[in-house]
A and B are shown apart, each in its own frame.
Chain A
């Protein structure tokens, strides 16, 4: 079992719709959760971070965290063609004296069709 799992997609949604991206993780010691957007040929760009259970909203983006079920999701409202990219879920766990390394899923490709 991979530590962080995402459906590779592609997830195709029409312009203006809500895109829902999901991510599950295996280690209950995970403490911090991040969503990155990566356009083809570019580097990942941080779009959301979430640390506690519940929802966190930022503009058209909402991150949802459920530690009991070990999943994180990202909702994109009013999807635009410019949102077409690969979305990477990343998880971080900190142990005493240990590193704050990020563990990434393989990413979900989102296609927003005009």
Chain B
């Protein structure tokens, strides 16, 4: 049974560009959350989607946006990239809002 899959695994972008990260949750899971993890810190919450509706947004600028599709996969978009956006972006999948969350392998974004 496939776990959470994220693509791409690594990405290098230039300041000012935009990026789209993708996530496919575990089959049957309806909730997808996005987290940003910078080196030496724990993951920070960006968004949660459940049944295609946004259910939570963390303290990130409007340059960050996301959506969830009818098949429960999700995209995270970041516009006008800054050097400080360089981080590991994690997608977590859960079958409900308050159940265990399982992470994908992450996308390592480097902004130069």
**Do A and B interact?**
yes
Contact A94 to B100, CB < 8 A, known contacts A43-B90, A101-B56: no
**Which of A44, A103, A107 lies in contact with B90, CB distance below 8 A?**
A44
Judge if B25 is at the interface, Cβ distance under 8 Å: no
By the criterion CB–CB under 8 Å, are B97 and A34 in contact?
no
Residue A17 CB within 8 A of the other chain = no
Q: A99-B55, A101-B45 are in contact. Are A44 and B98 (CB under 8 A)?
A: no
Do residues A44 and B48 form an inter-chain contact, with CB atoms below 8 A?
no
Q: When the two chains form their complex, are residues B56 and A107 in contact, meaning their CB atoms are under 8 A apart?
A: no
Chain A: interface size category: 20 to 34
Which single residue of chain B is at the shortest CB-CB distance from A6? B42
Interface centre among A4, A49, A100, A105 (most CB of B within 10 A): A100
Residue of B nearest to A48 (CB): B100
Answer whether residue A57 sits at the interface, using C-beta atoms and an 8 A cutoff: no
- B100 close to A99 (CB less than 8 A): no
B48 touches A101 (CB 8 A): yes
Partner of B101, one of A4, A46, A105, A106: A46
**CB-CB under 8 A for A100 and B58, given A92-B98, A106-B42:** no
With known contacts A44-B43, A88-B42, A107-B42, A100–B94 Cβ distance under 8 A: yes
User: What are 13 A-B contacts defined by CB distance under 8 Å?
Assistant: A43-B106, A44-B43, A46-B100, A88-B42, A98-B55, A98-B56, A99-B48, A100-B55, A100-B96, A101-B48, A104-B43, A107-B41, A107-B42
> Which A residues lie at the B interface, using CB under 8 A?
4, 8, 31-32, 34, 36, 42-46, 49, 88, 90, 92, 94, 98-107
